[in-house]
Chains A and B, each alone.
Chain A
Amino acid sequence: MNGYEFTFCTMRCMAMPSGALFLPDLDLLCVSDLHLGKSDRIARRSGVMLPPYEVRETLQKLDTDLGITSATTVICLGDSFDDLDAAAGLRDEMRLWLTKLQAGKRWIWIEGNHDPGPIDLGGTHMQDATFGTLSFRHIATSASSEVSGHYHPKHRIAGRSRPAFLYDQERLIMPAYGAYTGGLASHAPVLRKLFQRQPIAIMTGHKAIPVPLPN
């Protein structure tokens, strides 16, 4: 498999090329910023009707990753839904698929700025969560040993920009997992100031490739 294995805050981690993070010692899969129902929200608010296939695309990706890892715990690290109406408006077919994915797993919805309230779907709704040595929340704080999302980091190398994990010894920021998500360049000041030391980017794509960020 094309993941990248590394150690973060003493935990063994695997950055998957899809943008998911797998913790083999806990059988835990973490994904962030799914933004399910984004096309629905955009149509509702602007009249522009994007191809309504992003939920299908994102769930397919998640289904595949769960198949590869056989994870028993799943953390969706916030902004899982583009807004609460989008969560409520999920098509039956997709709702069913999600329920199937949840079956037999511990499933945690961390709340994000897009989906601050509880949703009418299986799983536990939490503000943040702690597993092993790591704490999981949507937006990075000053706490250490933290995994967060929110910023949709991307990194550019050799002229190609791809969603990327960013991490140093203190924190790890997840790339957005959803199909319809843009990104913020890894050199953006708002991202860089979260890191004390020179962070490493793990680029997603066909293969997870680590690369140091320029100073």
Chain B
Amino acid sequence: MMTPLPSSFKDWFSRRGWHIHPHQQAMLDKASEPALMLIAPTGGGKTLAGFLPSLIELSGGTHDGLHTLYVSPLKALAADIKRNLRTPVEEMGLPIRIEDRTGDTSYTQKRRQRADPPHILLTTPESLALLTSYEDAPRIFKGLQRVIVDEIHALAESKRGDQLMLALSRLQTLAPGLRRVGLSATVEDPKAIADELAAHPDPCTIINADPGPDPDISMLVTNEKPPWTGGGAKYAIPAVLAQVKKHKTTLIFHNTRAQAEIFFHNLWLENTDDLPIGIHHGSLSREQREKVEGAMVAGDLRAIVCTGSLDLGIDWGDVDLVIQVGAPKNVKRLVQRIGRANHRYNAPSKALLVPANRFEVVECVAALEAVKAHDLDGDPKGPGPRDVLCQHILIRACAGPFDADTLFNEIKSVGSYTGLSRAGFDDCLDFCATGGYALRAYDKWKRLLQTADGNWQLRDPRAAQRIRMNIGTIQDTDTLKVRLKGNFKPLGEVEEAFAATLTPGDTFLIGGKIVRYENLKEMTVEVTRRADKAPKIATFMGTKFANSTQLSQRILRLFDQPDWPNLPGHTAEWLELQRKFSKLPEADRILVESFPHEGRHHLCAYGFAGRNAMQTLGMLMTQRMEDLGLQPLGFVATDYATLVWGLEQVHDPTPLFQAEHIRDDFETWLSGNAVMKKTFRGAATIAGLIERNLPQARKSGRQATFSSDILYDTLSKYDPDHLMLRITREEAMRGLVDFGRIEEMLARTAGRIDHVALDRVTPLSLPMFLERGRIAVAGAGQDRIIEEEAARLMQEAGVDVL
């Protein structure tokens, strides 16, 4: 049944010379369904398709209050959409008020919005969660008809999506007729996302827009060979500049912020034509980012060096080329990035891959083949995370007394929580109310109390303020602001761990400029422009994505070829060399190489299980080596291998890879390692056990705050079954620990281990040596080195005893 466009809309379309796209019509036809998901490429009029039914429903001017809620993962996206919606609303003279509400909205504006909500409110999952925490939430959302979740594929990958869907379950109760719409880029499993979007057991119709022509994507050919190691891709800069010159606007994507900074710096050193090129990533200050965004929209920039912070669908105007520097790690993300180029519907997007080193050439070729085969990758998501659920319960408590049964039923309507048991819910409720400790210590100071009528409420209503201040699931690593000495405006942020390694006079890159570290003042890194040295490399750890299973498998299949006509000559030669001196890794065996290097014994194991799992394997291997007295000192892991170095030679690596050993060691190891502590900190912060933000920031009181590691250690020791530890464990298994992929590797290789002992570094292990993120082993070897270092310092200072 076709819903015709109202005449005013039809006229507006024809005035602009537009025809309604089939998917826009389909969205209109099915507008009354409880849940709809649209999958469309960028530039396909996706936003309008989402909003068209709202604009039509509101055009009569009879709706009072909030009608449509638009949620996007980025604040900038909300502002962008507000701008874009203004055009049809103004040109058709529609009586519709549109406002955005994000962390950047002023306090007065926010108050006014609560008292008198606009027809269309554009917001983020966090701001929405905050809105639902107010006591007047029922009044604000009373007439709500539609919610549009933009870039739902990006939200669905993280806890932000879970938080959003929990908030929607609240809204569904407050506004029972609420219809849900999701807008997504191309994904490998649309049904999984649709199931999360719909209120269980409602169906969700999926509408596919014409995906357009296949992208025109290839590897950038350079005269210069990619280096053996490193991630800078400096060799490719002349070729990249030549491409920028040939195109109108180029986006140059990098996998990490540090790589983006270094590349940008090097790019400018060779940018003799002074092409206007900017940089954009999440650690730069808001002002800096906005400046670049503004220049981009105005068409003043020829290129932007960027990271994932530009991944999402902001309309950047005429991007006609996307360059991906470094191997893409994940085919789906690559395809979505390529979609950033060319917003003209039905014109192929153009993209170039630039491998940073010889190994990445192989990865890029594998990724290109996957894109051609439309073989997207992704791992199925686990059940709804319970730390987010705990936060949801606290948010619900802020809004006023609640009945546990009602809340439980509401939560069960959320796709990823449909499997939640009552016992699982009660655990979370008990955690929120009493801390959930085996030692029932907080009878007097419970956070939530059950009143005589059976409802739950905050013991101290003032606690609501603190809970609201800590809403959100985004885990920011501890960062420090960087600012020029005597200047108030921050330049950006660096990680605390990086700042700790700085001594006055050290230089580093931020926003493409070299700055000199002067001192640390009240949690701010003060720098000057008096840089007289080459920059220290590391600036940010950034997020490192693991190579997907599918991509790893493709690489192994590529290794298996008798020769490599599909690879550039230099890379084929490199693989030949590896085959000649050692072996190439095979899918059903683990290749282990051992060789001496710089006075240490090295062991390189090729497991191809992705960065996180290979890191876990490194921890387990070094623990076993420690037990065997092999004095390991440290290791580094990449997507394909783990390299361990130590004081003793390993003659037989077989015991290090026995499945039963690995599983047993894993059990003991889990309790005491840094990855678990990091995961714990994340979960405990989300669940409300650790507060990120305090009412009055206590600047001087650093000795008043203590590390969450202490809480982790104490809980592990005295309350090992505590909910937070169970959550930590589950998450670590999937996320940073990724034991699932170790299991996959063990099953695939079934104890078949090839040990090759050599007298020097092998061609394939060479890139490992410049890999960052080396992890020291806190064992006997390390103690020995600390003591030696302390003794050396004592001697140097000429102090024995005072």
Which residues in A have some Cβ–Cβ distance to B below 8 Å?
6-8, 39-40, 43-44, 46-54, 56-57, 89, 91, 151-152, 156-161, 167-169, 176, 179-185, 188, 198, 200, 203, 206-207, 209-212
Contact = CB atoms under 8 A, between A and B. Distances in A.
B459 A209 contact: no
Contact of B703 (A44, A57, A152): A152
B393 to A, nearest CB: 13
Contacts of B715: 51, 53
A7 B786 CA distance: 23
Contacts of A212: 793-794, 797, 799
Interface in B206-242: none
A47 B448 CA distance: 9
Lowest 3 A-B CB distances belong to which pairs? A49-B435, A52-B441, A182-B706
B403 interface: no
B460 A47 contact: yes
A198 B797 contact: yes
Interface stretch (B381-389, B412-420, B481-489, B717-725): B717-725
Interface string B752-784: 000000000000000000000000100000010
Contacts of A49: 434-435, 437, 441-442, 445, 447, 689
A47 B703 contact: no
B705 A182 contact: yes
20 contacts: A39-B441, A43-B435, A47-B445, A47-B458, A48-B691, A49-B447, A51-B435, A51-B715, A53-B439, A53-B719, A56-B718, A157-B786, A158-B789, A160-B786, A169-B802, A182-B707, A184-B703, A206-B783, A210-B790, A212-B794
A138 to B, nearest CB: 13
Contacts of A207: 783, 787
Nearest to B702: A184
A89 B435 CA distance: 18
Nearest to A188: B702
B501 interface: yes
B697 interface: no
B435 A47 contact: no
Interface in B416-457: 434-435, 437, 439, 441-442, 444-445, 447
Nearest to B796: A212
Contact of B706 (A6, A159, A181): A181
Nearest to B787: A209
A40 B802 contact: no
A210 B799 CA distance: 10
A182 B711 CA distance: 12
B463 interface: yes
B688 A52 contact: no
Contacts of A47: 445, 447, 458-460, 463, 466
B710 interface: yes
Nearest to A181: B706
Q: Which of B435, B690, B719 has the most CB of A within 10 A?
A: B435
B473 to A, nearest CB: 18
Given A182-B703, A210-B794, A211-B794, A157 B789 contact: yes
Nearest to A160: B786
Contact of A200 (B441, B786, B799): B799
Contacts of A43: 435, 442, 445, 447
A152 B783 CA distance: 24
Nearest to A162: B786
Contacts of B705: 182
Contacts of A209: 786-787, 790
B801 interface: yes
A8 B793 contact: no
Contacts of B460: 47
A48 B688 contact: yes
A179 B500 CA distance: 24
B445 A44 contact: yes
Given A48-B691, A52-B435, A158-B786, 14 more contacts: A47-B466, A49-B442, A50-B711, A51-B715, A53-B718, A157-B789, A158-B785, A168-B802, A180-B710, A181-B703, A182-B707, A185-B702, A200-B802, A207-B787
From A50, A152, A185, residue with most partner B Cβ within 10 Å: A50
Interface of B: 434-435, 437, 439, 441-442, 444-445, 447, 458-460, 463, 466, 500-501, 688-691, 702-707, 710-711, 714-715, 717-719, 722, 776, 783, 785-787, 789-790, 793-794, 797, 799, 801-802
Contacts of A168: 802
Most buried by B among A91, A158, A203: A158
B791 to A, nearest CB: 9
B802 A179 contact: no
B493 to A, nearest CB: 20
Contacts of A169: 802
A95 to B, nearest CB: 14
B717 A53 contact: yes
Most buried by A among B444, B690, B714: B714
Contacts of B458: 47
Contacts of B445: 40, 43-44, 47, 49
A86 to B, nearest CB: 11
Given A181-B706, A184-B702, A46 B466 contact: yes
A41 to B, nearest CB: 9
A6 B704 CA distance: 30
A209 B793 CA distance: 12
B717 A6 contact: no
Nearest to B715: A51
A85 B719 CA distance: 25
Among B710, B719, B785, max chain A CB count under 10 A is at B710
A55 B435 CA distance: 17
B714 A179 contact: yes
A91 B707 CA distance: 25
Contacts of B787: 207, 209
Contacts of A6: 801-802
Given A157-B789, A176-B703, A184-B702, A48 B689 contact: yes
Nearest to A6: B801
Nearest to A33: B703
Contacts of A54: 714
Contacts of B690: 48
A157 B711 CA distance: 23
Nearest to B440: A52
B714 A53 contact: yes
A3 to B, nearest CB: 14
B663 to A, nearest CB: 28
Nearest to B459: A47
A211 B718 CA distance: 33
Nearest to A206: B783
A184 to B, nearest CB: 5
A206 B783 CA distance: 9
Contact of B441 (A91, A183, A188): A91
Nearest to A190: B700
Contacts of A89: 444
Contacts of A46: 463, 466, 691
A6 B802 CA distance: 8
B527 to A, nearest CB: 18
A29 to B, nearest CB: 21
Contacts of A203: 790
Contacts of B444: 44, 89
Contacts of A184: 702-703
Nearest to A199: B802
Contacts of B688: 48
B793 A52 contact: no
A91 B437 CA distance: 15
A115 to B, nearest CB: 15
Nearest to B716: A51
Contact of B717 (A50, A57, A151, A161): A57
Contacts of A176: 703
A37 to B, nearest CB: 11
